[in-house]
Chains A and B, each alone.
Chain A
Amino acid sequence: MMETDILVIGAGPAGSTAAKHAAINGARVIVIDKKSEIGSPKRCAEGVSKEGLEKLGIEPSPRWVTKEATGVRMVSPNGTAVNLTEEKVNLPEAGYILERKIFDKHMAMEAGRAGAKIMVKTLATGMRREKDQVVVNTEHMGRELEIKAKIVIAADGPESRVGRWAGLKTALKPKNMESCAQFEMAGVDMAEPDCIEFHFGSVAPGGYAWIFPKGNDIANVGLGVLTTITDKSAYQHLLEFVESNPATQNAQPVELNIGGDPVGGLLKKMVADNVLVTGDAASMVNPLTGGGIISGMLGGRIAGQVAAQAVADGDYSHENLKIYEKLCEEELGESFQKYLKAKEYLLSLSDKELDTIAEAFKNSDFETINTKEMVRKLVKISPKALLKLGKLF
């Protein structure tokens, strides 16, 4: 049996960040990932904010930044576009489009350099408590291996099985899980190649479609839907979108990505005795945009720090770990509440309403109007915005 202070399950950005910070703070750390290649396949549109990377102290590298996006283009069902630029509007997912396959490895390497031991192709299959510690069963290349740890950080993604082994309710209802499909394509002809692009309405019921530029004519073209309100699969919606959208009609896919995106807002209970849940597994995803790289890493950093402190205290109990929930709520939960409201409003709009709003805003000078004026203008054409968004601004 192997022994460690902290075992991180899953080497995505959240898990690797947790591992790095746990190691920096003096704990012995093992990270396991079930895949043979960390970061691949990606399940992601790959957008992160500059502000977010800065907050995490991560210097952007040309190795994993494919493109800097300076604006956002939002397109209504009839094709009316509203363009926002980052100078005057705070755009949560605008910034860089990453190459996740390289970025995720970079983050894992950083964890390794900080002292964490990394094991790839190692799957967690179960967990049991032994005195005041836990033993995780794993499989590595056909071999069964037990790892005993004082604390487990569950960063196992939207599957989120590990938290449930610890008795936490991390399973999501389908209405809180976007079903996503994406092509990485070449030959994409974007109207604004420096903007990330969002398409709203019946093109993606319960979600939206996106085109995120990756330089030249390359882009991630994808969408998320709620399967509770459409009979078609995300993939079928994607094929229709690609065929009908002028930017992608002549584009060719070189990769297909699929996956679930937990958009129900931060889980309330993310802590059990010996266990912290982080990243997608804890729904650390902006419920409006579905973006979760930065928020998962912010949560992961807190998880690593709290876990290392608990190891130093010699106390791995729920009681001693629950500060994690409070810190995550402050860092992420409060803003997620706002985004949930905004999402609720957005999803309540019909195609016609979306077109009317886009028409009213398409020539707005966003560099000179503030949020309050924007909401006032919105309420004029869409009175229910007052009810749904009024209290937020």
Chain B
Amino acid sequence: MIVKEWCMYCGECAGVCPRNLIEVREISLNFNEKYCKDCNICVQVCPVQALEKRDD
């Protein structure tokens, strides 16, 4: 996951992640991408569109 510079760490993405894979720190986000199933819900709910799925 690409976390854009304007992410404000509000944690809404973590709240909707069905697999509880997002750790919200005071000024960083940690994605446990190993278990991510690309549901994209986190990208969709972000109030400022700060998340982008990495193409791999």
Residues 16-45 of B, flagged 1 when their CB comes within 8 A of A and 0 if not, give: 111010111110000000000000010011
Return the chain A residue nearest B21 by Cβ.
A161
- The 8 Å CB contact of B48, one of A35, A161, A235, is A235
Return the chain A residue nearest B42 by Cβ.
A174
Is B26's CB under 8 angstroms from A36's CB? yes
Residues 11-53 of A, flagged 1 when their CB comes within 8 A of B and 0 if not, give: 0000000000000000000000011100001010000000000
Return the chain A residue nearest B17 by Cβ.
A171
Is B8's CB under 8 angstroms from A157's CB? no
Is A260's CB under 8 angstroms from B15's CB? yes
Q: Is A303 an interface residue (CB 8 A)?
A: no
Interface centre among B11, B22, B26 (most CB of A within 10 A): B11
Q: Is A262 an interface residue (CB 8 A)?
A: yes
Is B15's CB under 8 angstroms from A262's CB? yes
Interface size on B, residues (CB 8 A): 22
Is B8's CB under 8 angstroms from A159's CB? no
Residues 117-155 of A, flagged 1 when their CB comes within 8 A of B and 0 if not, give: 000010101000000000000000000000000000000
Q: Is A164 an interface residue (CB 8 A)?
A: yes
Return the chain A residue nearest B14 by Cβ.
A159
Q: From residue A182, how far is it (CB to closest CB) to chain B in Å?
A: 9
Return the chain A residue nearest B25 by Cβ.
A123
Residues of B within 8 A of A165 (CB): 20
Return the chain B residue nearest A259 by Cβ.
B10
Is B26's CB under 8 angstroms from A171's CB? no
Is B26's CB under 8 angstroms from A259's CB? no
Is A161's CB under 8 angstroms from B20's CB? yes
Q: Is B12 an interface residue (CB 8 A)?
A: yes
Interface of B is mostly: loop
Interface centre among A171, A227, A258 (most CB of B within 10 A): A258
Residues of A within 8 A of B11 (CB): 157-159, 259-260
Q: Beyond A259-B11, A260-B11, is A181–B47 a contact (Cβ under 8 Å)?
A: yes
- The 8 Å CB contact of B47, one of A35, A123, A174, A235, is A235
Is B49's CB under 8 angstroms from A258's CB? no
Is B16's CB under 8 angstroms from A174's CB? yes
* Whole-angstrom CA separation of A233 from B13 in the bound complex: 13
Q: From residue A27, how far is it (CB to closest CB) to chain B in Å?
A: 28
Q: Is B3 an interface residue (CB 8 A)?
A: no
Q: Is B1 an interface residue (CB 8 A)?
A: no
Besides the known contacts A172-B16, A260-B15, 15 further A-B residue pairs in the complex with CB atoms under 8 A apart = A34-B26, A157-B15, A158-B12, A160-B15, A161-B23, A171-B17, A173-B16, A177-B45, A179-B46, A181-B48, A227-B45, A258-B10, A258-B47, A260-B47, A262-B15
Identify the B interface with A (CB < 8 A): 8, 10-12, 14-18, 20, 22-26, 41, 44-49
**Sampled A-B contacts (25; CB under 8 Å):** A34-B24, A34-B25, A123-B26, A125-B23, A159-B14, A159-B22, A160-B14, A161-B23, A164-B20, A165-B20, A171-B16, A171-B17, A172-B16, A179-B12, A181-B47, A233-B46, A235-B49, A256-B8, A258-B8, A258-B10, A258-B12, A259-B10, A259-B47, A260-B16, A260-B47
